Chains A and B, each alone.
Chain A
């Protein structure tokens, strides 16, 4: 095992993992609060990739060249518009089904996912889209005396920093603010929360908004890193992030982050040392194994069903 490959794949895995973690947050929070897997969440991520391209083009058309300014504006605008999509989906598709059977919102989510794909396909075209490289350059770190290097691009550094920062901010909100307290209360006992005066419909809408915003952060960063995408990317990435959420323990916020990192690293090592064509197979085999041996995930609590 080549140590330089190991080091390089660790870096790549961490970058990949933080983006999975960001998207996994949306799955895990929505599941935690209404017990539903929002399969349209991957498409929210896909939408944010397109929004990134659109906002970059808009800024370019105004002749703005400042990279930090562009980054901040594109990130903020994409987060806002993507969050609006998340809120809108909850409002029109999930809230009316709040008291129906468990399967109804699940099927709706799959339907919405198709709707979103085709909405993007029709408005943006079916061909894959590219965005210009915004942030160039990298730095190299020597890891031994033979001149072996690991290379970390500035975009990769940016991804890890922004992702960790957003997770820290989210953790702070959930544990230190009254909004976060209301979210956790609604998650644990929705009826009791409303008896105490918490508007649980509003809390659920906010959770969808937070989830979409986190996916948007991932969408912007990953698009900047890869430079191209199409209307299909939401599916595989969404399922991977879902795997990360299950791996960490669905419903657990630190679990989503941890699950993302582990999945990213596992996938990256498999691609580096075994076979990069089968890395998706490996990721999903991992999902199967977790579901068999630890269905509640690494940080999740086993569900106790009251009869």
Chain B
């Protein structure tokens, strides 16, 4: 298994982050680091605060305590729309594609973060990754199947040529075939030079492709280690890889 590439630059760093939904505390003193070129996974049960952690990076909600750094820039209190232009792209929980717009319009919206520089986005590269999207580019996104919508959400995020791709449960609600396809895609994306932070309930598959992982329990980081270490950790095996693994 891959060693922790500590010699590399940290691209994302959370230092002692807490955040709240109104009076309810969702995260408590979370610290974690993602280095350039890694796949890092965050696993945890429903309601552990995984999605909140991702949304906190975008200041929605804002961290009430602690600091968030992206590529050396402090982003803790940046307005939501100013975050993605720095080079982060989120594939959110539930995909959140724009159902009333066409596939190509959804993808074009992903380019917003690039601003006026209007770089030529390599559409062909994305169409090679997702041939189905090329076929359906004129179709309303709402008419796509769940797996296709997930691919569209990933393609939309990649349109901004992010340095760090954040994925929130990309396997949720998909057939096993499609899940394998999505995980294979994630590996291809990392090979092309994008760092990936993967949030999953599907711990088994996530840890298998991850360099490192964190386990989130009730808003706190309980465990961390390489993917291999966590896969063989008895606590993780019992809580996330036992009978409950395929509860979806």
Contact = CB atoms under 8 A, between A and B. Distances in A.
Contact of A184 (B60, B81, B101, B160): B101
Contacts of A189: 96, 98
Name the residue in B81, B85, B156 with the highest tally of chain A Cβ atoms < 10 Å from its Cβ. Answer: B81
A184 B102 CA distance: 12
Contact of B81 (A181, A188, A197): A197
B171 interface: no
B12 interface: no
B60 A188 contact: no
5 contacts: A184-B101, A188-B98, A191-B60, A194-B81, A197-B115
Nearest to B112: A197
Contact of B92 (A178, A195, A200): A195
B100 A195 contact: no
Interface string A38-55: 000000000000000000
B248 to A, nearest CB: 20
Interface in A186-201: 188-189, 191-200
Interface string A194-214: 111111100000000000000
A191 B113 CA distance: 14
Contacts of B84: 195-197
Interface of A: 178, 181-182, 184-185, 188-189, 191-200
A181 B90 contact: no
Interface string B83-98: 1110000101000101
Nearest to B153: A192
B100 A197 contact: no
Contacts of A181: 101, 105, 108-109
B234 interface: no
A99 to B, nearest CB: 11
Interface of B: 58, 60, 79-85, 90, 92, 96, 98-101, 105, 108-110, 112-113, 115, 156, 160
A185 B108 CA distance: 11
B179 to A, nearest CB: 23
A178 B159 CA distance: 15
Given A184-B100, A185-B109, A195-B90, 10 more contacts: A181-B101, A182-B112, A184-B98, A188-B100, A192-B92, A193-B109, A196-B160, A197-B81, A197-B84, A197-B85
Query: Which 7 A/B pairs are nearest by Cβ-Cβ distance?
Result: A197-B113, A197-B84, A194-B80, A192-B96, A197-B112, A194-B81, A188-B98
A269 to B, nearest CB: 34
Contact of B160 (A191, A197, A200): A197
A197 B105 CA distance: 15
B228 to A, nearest CB: 33
B58 A195 contact: yes
Contacts of B92: 192, 195
Contacts of A200: 81
A226 to B, nearest CB: 39
A178 B81 CA distance: 16
Contacts of A185: 98, 101, 109
Contacts of B99: 188
A286 B3 CA distance: 72
Nearest to B105: A181
A189 B92 CA distance: 12
